[in-house]
């Protein structure tokens, strides 16, 4: 794998490992901590997560715009500084209401840094394709594998130790960032493919109507997939721990399993995916069907092993679908807008984290309980299949029209 990835991308990948390991100390336990430690209702806790994700969406878009207009280094530097101060504050102030304010500050930092790292993944790989995004996705999930496992050990000594651990990793990431990220070629002069990032002296392009609608459908597909997915982090966590006898430590281990499977599974999945890497639609179809299967298993699970099996299917679905989404977004981005497009993709995932806990809690409490939540997940994933199909139809039509226009221009010359 070392031969496949250039030096600049390795810098980004290692940074993502450090970043997400620290953040994975926090996010799996947010709902459990607010409901069980702070005494908040599920609806109130979901509202806190909704606001947290809302500020993350705004910061993702702002981070993407700064990336395109000025520099990826500047965008990431701002997010990194906010991250260090917000996690430091969380160490000392994690009671009510300080926990909420600090969590929202962390959400701002996450939005800026994530959109910057994903945009950098497209910038630093020569082809700007799936390989770079898959590398950053694997790096993220190394953090998912390690973070909750370490946090689970620290949680036994109290949540204050968990937040200290998160701050330590944020500090390590900041030191690593200031030592190594300035070495990245942010001007993308070494990129051999036609870059979608802004360069001096080049004009910004604008998308066609077909390309724009295609991108909107891609974002909608991502949202429709992420809304059910986030239920595993929010309402299903409460369902498992309160009704099915799963301990907080066992729940944290589910996410460690998720990250470990993604990292180890690359040895098996990379050769499989490489055979049809051009067929991104097939990868997303497979991912969605695996998501459906994960919810079908979880709905009928009565013991912990059932949820483990559901997590395995969920993880396999991620491995197929998630890296394909930013790859298609990179294809659709006009010149000079790669940072913005990756920011919007990251913002859509953040929107799901914003909406899913709150909407899911309302469904469970007012529309028929946990069964209604599972049925809603199946409906959303069904719509996702329709949305991505329409997206690919529009993208192909746009490509055909551009090709025909290019031929006519060449013939006119």
**In whole angstroms, what is the distance from residue 27 CA to residue 87 CA?**
12
pLDDT at 293: 96
- Is 130's pLDDT higher than 70? no
Once rounded to an integer, what is the mean pLDDT over residues 51-61? 82
Q: Which domains does the chain have, with CATH numbers?
A: 7-186 (1.20.1250.20), 207-404 (1.20.1250.20)
205 phi and psi, to 5 degrees?
Answer: -90, 160
Query: Out of 33-37, 220-224, 293-297, 368-372, which region has the weakest mean confidence (pLDDT)?
Result: 33-37
More confident call, 336 vs 74: 74
pLDDT category, 388, cuts 50, 70, 90? Answer: very high
pLDDT at 345: 84
Once rounded to an integer, what is the mean pLDDT over residues 127-151? 71
Once rounded to an integer, what is the mean pLDDT over residues 276-289? 83
Tell me the pLDDT tens digit for each residue of 299-338.
Answer: 988 888 888 999 999 988 988 888 888 888 888 877 767 6
Range picked from 199-203, 328-332, 370-374, 400-404 for highest mean pLDDT? 370-374
CB atoms within 10 A of CB 309: 15
List the one residue out of 328, 345, 347, 315 whose CA is nearest residue 388.
Answer: 328
Query: Out of 9-13, 28-32, 383-387, which region has the weakest mean confidence (pLDDT)?
Result: 28-32
- Is 127's pLDDT higher than 50? yes
Query: Out of 72-86, 96-110, 140-154, which region has the weakest mean confidence (pLDDT)?
Result: 140-154
- Is 196's pLDDT higher than 80? no
**In whole angstroms, what is the distance from residue 96 CA to residue 297 CA?**
36
pLDDT at 376: 92
Q: Kindly report the average pLDDT of the chain as a whole number.
A: 79
More confident call, 209 vs 94: 209
User: Three-state SS for 154?
Assistant: helix
Query: Out of 97-106, 185-194, 391-400, which region has the weakest mean confidence (pLDDT)?
Result: 185-194
pLDDT at 266: 65
pLDDT at 391: 93
pLDDT category, 354, cuts 50, 70, 90? Answer: confident
Query: Out of 39-43, 162-166, 384-388, 397-401, which region has the weakest mean confidence (pLDDT)?
Result: 39-43
**In whole angstroms, what is the distance from residue 185 CA to residue 51 CA?**
35
pLDDT category, 193, cuts 50, 70, 90? Answer: very low
Q: Which residues contact 5 (CB under 8 A, 6 or more apart)?
A: 13, 125, 131, 132, 135
Once rounded to an integer, what is the mean pLDDT over residues 236-247? 80
pLDDT at 118: 77
Residues 372, 378, 381, CA angle at the centre, nearest 5°?
Answer: 140
Once rounded to an integer, what is the mean pLDDT over residues 281-291? 92
pLDDT at 131: 67
More confident call, 394 vs 205: 394
Residue corresponding to tokens 């070392």? 2
| Whether the Cβ atoms of residue 262 and residue 319 lie closer than 8 Å to each other | yes
User: Three-state SS for 40?
Assistant: coil
């Amino acid at each position: 794998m070392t031969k496949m990835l250039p030096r600049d991308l390795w810098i980004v990948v290692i940074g993502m490992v450090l970043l997400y390991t620290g953040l994975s100390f926090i996010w799996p336990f947010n709902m459990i901590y607010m409901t069980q430690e702070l005494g908040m209702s599920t609806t109130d806790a979901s509202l806190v997560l909704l606001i947290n994700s809302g500020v993350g969406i705004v910061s993702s878009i702002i981070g993407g715009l700064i990336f395109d207009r000025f520099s990826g280094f500047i965008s990431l530097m701002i997010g990194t500084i906010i991250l260090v101060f917000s996690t430091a504050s969380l160490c000392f102030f994690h009671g009510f209401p300080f926990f909420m304010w600090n969590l929202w500050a962390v959400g701002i930092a996450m939005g800026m840094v994530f959109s910057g790292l994903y945009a950098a993944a497209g910038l630093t790989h020569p082809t700007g394709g799936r390989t770079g995004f898959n590398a950053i996705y694997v790096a993220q999930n190394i953090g998912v594998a390690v973070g909750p496992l370490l946090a689970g050990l620290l949680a036994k000594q109290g949540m204050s130790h968990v937040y200290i651990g998160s701050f330590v990793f944020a500090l390590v990431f900041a030191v690593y960032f200031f030592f190594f990220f300035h070495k990245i070629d942010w001007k993308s002069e070494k990129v051999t493919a036609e870059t979608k990032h802004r360069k001096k002296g080049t004009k910004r392009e604008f998308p066609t109507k077909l390309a724009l609608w295609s991108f909107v459908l891609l974002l909608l597909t991502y949202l429709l997939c992420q809304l059910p997915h986030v239920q595993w982090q929010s309402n299903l966590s409460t369902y498992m721990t309160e009704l099915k006898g799963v301990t907080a430590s066992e729940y944290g281990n589910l996410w460690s399993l998720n990250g470990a499977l993604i990292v180890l599974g690359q040895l098996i999945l990379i050769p499989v995916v490489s055979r049809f890497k051009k067929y991104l639609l097939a990868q997303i179809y497979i991912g969605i069907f695996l998501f459906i299967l994960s919810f079908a298993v979880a709905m009928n699970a009565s013991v912990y092993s059932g949820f483990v099996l559901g997590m395995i299917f969920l993880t396999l679905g991620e491995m197929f679908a998630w890296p394909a989404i930013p790859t298609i977004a990179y294809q659709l981005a006009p010149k000079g807008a790669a940072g913005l497009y990756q920011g919007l993709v990251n913002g859509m995932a953040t929107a799901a984290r914003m909406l899913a806990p709150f909407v899911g809690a309302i469904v469970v409490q007012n529309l028929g309980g946990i069964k209604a939540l599972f049925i809603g997940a199946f409906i959303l994933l069904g719509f996702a299949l329709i949305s991505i199909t329409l997206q690919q139809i529009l993208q192909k039509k746009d490509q055909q029209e551009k090709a025909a226009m290019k031929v006519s221009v060449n013939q006119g010359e």
